[in-house]
Structure formats: structure tokens, C-alpha cells
A and B are shown apart, each in its own frame.
Chain A
Amino acid sequence: MKIRHFPFVASIVFAVIIPFLPLILWSFSTRYHYPALLPQEFGIRGWMYVLDTARGQIAAGIYESFTLALVTTLISLVFGLPAGRALGLYDFPGKKLASLLLMLPVIVPPLSVTMGLHLWFIRLELVETFAGVVLIHLTFCLPYTIFVFWGVFSDYDPDFEDQARSLGASPSHVVFKIMLPMVLPGVVVAALFSFLLSWSQYLSTLIIGGGKMLTLPILLFSLMDSGDRPIAGAVCLIFILPAFLALIATTKSLGHQSLKGMH
């Protein structure tokens, strides 16, 4: 079975890895001029900048981004799951309106959403606070989380819960032992979406965070157009790495769980 899947798996790995090759080459080059295919001179100037000169800033940026993304993800799961369940399982008046409203932050350009909310956030004294930045990230993350759970719960059979209840399971038992294990792949996908969206926010963090939150994207986006490809390459890899690790970690549980659920 492993052999049969090999070409398929190999092509996926190839397609995922190949785009990173130029980045890796650039980040380890000091001289890489046209028309050479490989760098004429290898070196670690790009990495020295990221890991030494700007180390303090970048380490603080990773920490800031990670905490923001984590908190945003947790909150969007807590709110997204019940909302998605309601939209997926029940019909109620105003359901279309609710889904339209939920879609809005995704349809309207993020810049307008952020600029509009900025004025309100100033009045509510939420600008330049951690909570404010989490809230603005939620504006973009929550709709996606809800839509993922909406899809998940459309295929969900609540009869399992009734069975458990008729056998005497408590409400919390039903939630944690019946519902959550069944929708776990959905939770993982929603969490991943949310995490990556928050992880890559630039403009909203800059405007609402007002420079108080120096997340990784703020540090990196300003460097991207430096024209210094070795540094840009190193910086891109640093930016991608955590997301890549999150993806690998979740695919494992995702693949495992969905196989179980297929039977």
C-alpha cells in the first residue's frame, strides 16, 4: 500500500518543498548574480542579520506573534464552535442575515474594516493594547472558524448525543466524550486557519497595535522590500517555519482522526 501511494506522496512533498529551495539558497548566499544557477559564494550574512543583529527584535516579535495567535485562536474556537453548531444544525429566523453579517468582515476589504474600527477602538481605549489587537484579529479569524464549524456540523448527527444522554451521560460528558472527539478534525482545521490568519496579520496589527505590538509580520514586511535577498530569504524562512511546524503537527492528528471517522 505504501508503494502504491509513493508517486502521489512524492509529488506533494516535491510541490511543497521546491518553492522553498530558492529561499534557502538565497538565505545562505553572499554572492548570487545572474546568470549563475547556484550562488557563486555561500555565506551566512542573511542569517547573521536575523539571528544576531536583529536578534532581540525578532525574538520579541516571535513571542508577541505567538501569544497573539494563540489567544486569538482559543477565543475564536470558544465562540466559533457553538455558533457553527447553531448554524449547522438548526434552522431559525434570520439565519441568512446572520450568515451575511458573519461574512461581512471577510468580504469588505480589511483596510476599511480596520480603519473604521480604529476610531471606535480609540474611543473605547482599546488601541495599543493586547486585548484590542486580539479583538481586531478576531474580526478576521472568527468568520472563518464559524464557517469551518458550520460545515462540520452540517454533517454531524446529534442522535449520538441523544443516545449518550439516554444512557445517563451528563451534559459535560456529552460535550467532551461525544461531540468533541467527533468534530476534532474540524477543531484542528479551524484552529489552524485561525492561527495562520492571526500569525500573518500586518496592517490591522500596525493600526490597532500602533507599534506597541511589534509582531513578526511588522518586523518582516518592512524588510521584505529591502532588495537584500539574502536577508529577505532568511526572514521569510523564519516567518514560515512556525506555520510549517503547526501544519505538520496538525496534519498528523488530522489524518489520523479523519481515517477513524471514515469507517
Chain B
Amino acid sequence: MNVNFSGFNYLTIAVLIFLVCNLPQLCPAEDEIPDWDSAVADSSGQTVNWYMWGGSPAVNRYVNGYLARELKNRFNINLRQVPVKDIAEIVSKLMVEKAAGKNSGGSVDLMWINGENFRTCKRENLLFGPFADVLPNQRFVDWHNPAVENDFGTPVAGMESPWGSAQFVMIYDSARTPDPPTTIADLIRWIIKHPGRFSYPAPPDFTGSAFVRHFFYHTGAPEKWQQGYNEAELKESADSTYAILNDLKPFLWREGSTYPDSPVRLNSLFVDNEIDFSFSYHQGEATRNILDGIFPDTVRTYVFDEGTIANTHFVAIPFNAENKEGAMVVANFLLSPEAQYKKAEPDVWGDFPVVSTTRLPVEWQEKFNTRPRGVATLDDQQLQSHQLPEPPSDILVYLEKGWENQVLKSR
């Protein structure tokens, strides 16, 4: 009887402990950032599940080929890519897991994000960190570069680690359009002179939205939006942006009654000779597409004289990741000169290095400066001297909503 009673008691205590420990606010998940040596030691044998947009065969090839092989050989880490259509799906998944109190053993170890998704993750405390400053290869990154320090206006603060950089470029076929317009003002004139030969993906598509921001920058000084602007100024500039775009509507493809839904559709219209320009938020994409036979050999790229928008893309570790140490080692390896160099090769991926060349060891500096470039890719000098920062992501959202209400819906 007595034994039974105490047995019951132990059970009650066990249940109570179990309940208490499952309340997220009382027992927060272990959030300590391991130091580098113990992270490397613990990472051996881990499988890192890396969730990322899987729409690019070139990226998939680089991740599943070179990266997976090197990580296995050097650190005994199994890299497992989980390709998704849109990483926002994974951000929602993490939000549900947070709400359900699943604070450990999560399946996402690493994700490829930036901009709006990073802002959401940071606001909802979905990230593990700050871990970026623990990674030794951070020394190759210029953290004073505004495009690295802030991710679309959100301070990175070590909550994500940079992977690559991207810059918006215009794409044209030199055989069809030998003399492309090199300023926004010229582009507007060109569109009016060639009705039906231009279009852009409808925001909130990532690339279409970036295109609209160039017109927004055209209405005033781009630097102004980094800080200290007021509502009225924003509204005024936004309204004149919509006015320009509305005036252009009758001269767009299908008279602006419809827009392509993605840069992919835009590229298709471009190669199918429906329109004369495409554009990409990836300076090496045109070359890549020429190599794959998707674009004709005569396709080239250029940046506007006033510059084009550039940003950095990052990797982050979710709060409940099971293999945080492995994820840190992967994030660090992504920043190594060899991985960054391989990624930049035009026939691999052609993504631009996020490491700053001057910070690299001398032998790597030489290699990076003389690395092969594709036929349609501009050189670093041309690109870097024409970079504009992204505006904060609330301006971005403001413009996307405004475009929908005032450009798309005004028929």
C-alpha cells in the first residue's frame, strides 16, 4: 500500500516535471552559442538539413556536388539539401513549431534567406544566434559594407551569415537591340517608342518588385531612404512612381493588361521574342543561361548609369535546429575562399563572392581578381561602381502594396 502510494507520487512528480519542461516560457531551449572548437568537434557525423529555394539546377548542382563532397571529406558532415519552392513556406512552418512549443529537434538546420523572410524570423525570434561572429571565416567579410551590415534595412547582428551577393542587371539581345537605353529616363523613352516590347514581373514577385524600386529611386535620391525620411516624403515619391508606371502601361506588353508572374516567365517572353528586355537580380544569370543554351549567344547585360540595386543573401539557423554545430561549420565553409571561388565560376553558378577580395590571403586575391567571367557578365569594377543599397523592407512592402492598388488595379 505504502509502496504503491509512493510509486503514484513519483509518477505525479514525473508528470509534473514533464509538463513544466514542456512549457516553453519556463524551460527555454538551450540557447548557448558553442565556441568554434567545440562546434567543429560536435559537428562530426552530423547530417545538416539545408532548406533552400531549389529552382536553380546550377545551385543544386553546386550544393549537392561540390559542397556536399567537401563537407563530407573535410568535416565528416553529411549535407542534405531540401529544395523548396519558396522559403517563406519554411518560415511559416517554424512559426507553427514555435507556437506549438517545439523548441528542439527541429528538422531545419540551415536555411537560405534574406530580406523580408529574415525580418519575419528576427521579429518572431525564430533564429538561433548570434552565431556569425563565432565563425573564423568572418574575417574575410567586410562588415562595414552597408549591404552586409543590414539586410534590407534590418540589422544582421550576427543572426545570419553571408553567402553571396547579387546585383540587378538589365538583359538584352545585342543582335536585336544593339543600343540599349542606359538610364531610367532613356528606358522610359524607349518603351514609349516601342509599344508592346517591354514588361516586368508583377510585384510582389522579387525581381518585379526590385524593378519598381529602380523607378522609385528615379524620383529622388536613393540614399535618402536609408534613414530619416518621413511618411509624406515616402508617399510623394511613391505616388510619382505609380504615375510614371501608369503612364507607361499602354506601351507595355499586352498594353499592361497583364504582367508575367515571375522572372522565369519574363525570360521566356524575352527568348520567345515577345519582348526585348529581361532583367535579373543575379549578375551572372545571363551567362549561365547562354551556357545552358537557354539564351542565344548574343545576349548581354548592363547596369544603369545611375546604378542598380544590390543585396546580400545569407544563411541562418532556426531556434530549434537539431544540428546547430554542423550548421555553423557549413556556414563557415561557405565563406572559405575555395568555396566562394568555386561558386563564382561561370560554369558552376556564377554567383558573386561575398568575401571582400582585399581581406583574402594574397594568393587568393590574385585568383579572384583574374577569375574567368562569362561573356555576358560585367566585370567587378563596372558592377561595384554602380551599386545602390536596398531600401528598408517596410518601404519595399509599402511599394508592393501601392503598386497593386494604384497600378495593377487602375484600369
Tell me which of A30, A32, A54 contacts B60 (CB under 8 A): A54
Q: Is the CB of B97 within 8 A of A214?
A: no
Tell me which of B60, B65, B81, B100 contacts A119 (CB under 8 A): B100
Q: Is the CB of A206 within 8 A of B89?
A: yes
* 5 interchain residue pairs of minimum CB distance: A222-B54, A227-B264, A211-B82, A222-B83, A122-B100
A34 at the interface (CB under 8 A from B): yes
Q: Mark B25-64, 1 if CB is under 8 A from A, else 0.
A: 0000000000000000000000001010111110011001
Q: Is the CB of B93 within 8 A of A207?
A: yes
Task: Give the bracket for the number of chain A residues in contact with chain B.
Answer: 35 or more
Instruction: Give residues in B with beta carbon < 8 Å to A.
Output: 49, 51, 53-57, 60-61, 64-65, 81-85, 89-90, 92-93, 96-97, 99-100, 102, 107-108, 262-264, 267-268, 271-273, 289, 292-294, 296
A242 at the interface (CB under 8 A from B): no
Q: Whole-angstrom distance from the CB of A58 to the nearest CB of chain B?
A: 11
Q: Is the CB of A122 within 8 A of B102?
A: yes
Q: Is the CB of A222 within 8 A of B85?
A: yes
Known: A45-B292, A118-B96, A211-B107. 8 other contacts (CB 8 A): A33-B271, A54-B60, A119-B96, A206-B89, A222-B83, A226-B55, A227-B294, A231-B57
Bound Cα distance from A126 to B92, whole angstroms: 18
Tell me which of A34, A115, A221 contacts B273 (CB under 8 A): A34
Q: Is the CB of A223 within 8 A of B55?
A: yes
Neighbouring A residues of B96 by C-beta, 8 Å: 115, 118-119, 122
Neighbouring B residues of A56 by C-beta, 8 Å: 64
Bound Cα distance from A56 to B84, whole angstroms: 17
Neighbouring B residues of A34 by C-beta, 8 Å: 271-273
Closest to B50 in A: A211
A216-232 at interface with B (beta carbon < 8 Å): 218-219, 221-231
* Chain B CB within 10 Å, residue with most, of A56, A207, A210, A211: A211
Q: Is the CB of B100 within 8 A of A211?
A: no
Per DSSP, are chain B's interface residues mostly helix, strand or loop, or mixed? Answer: mixed
Q: Is the CB of A223 within 8 A of B57?
A: yes
Neighbouring B residues of A211 by C-beta, 8 Å: 49, 51, 82, 84, 90, 107-108
Q: Is the CB of A228 within 8 A of B107?
A: no
* Chain A CB within 10 Å, residue with most, of B51, B55, B102, B296: B55
Q: Is the CB of A222 within 8 A of B57?
A: no
Neighbouring B residues of A224 by C-beta, 8 Å: 55
Q: Whole-angstrom distance from the CB of A209 to the nearest CB of chain B?
A: 9
Neighbouring B residues of A203 by C-beta, 8 Å: 89
Q: Is the CB of B61 within 8 A of A53?
A: yes
Neighbouring A residues of B61 by C-beta, 8 Å: 49, 53-54
Q: Is the CB of B54 within 8 A of A228?
A: no
Contacts A214-B82, A229-B294 given; does A53 touch B55 at CB 8 Å? no
A250 at the interface (CB under 8 A from B): no
Contacts A31-B293, A34-B271, A227-B264 given; does A222 touch B107 at CB 8 Å? no
Q: Whole-angstrom distance from the CB of B65 to the nearest CB of chain A?
A: 7
Q: Is the CB of B83 within 8 A of A228?
A: no
Neighbouring B residues of A231 by C-beta, 8 Å: 57
Neighbouring B residues of A35 by C-beta, 8 Å: 273
Closest to B53 in A: A222
Q: Is the CB of B264 within 8 A of A212?
A: no
Q: Mark A17-60, 1 if CB is under 8 A from B, else 0.
A: 00000000000011111110000010101000100011011000
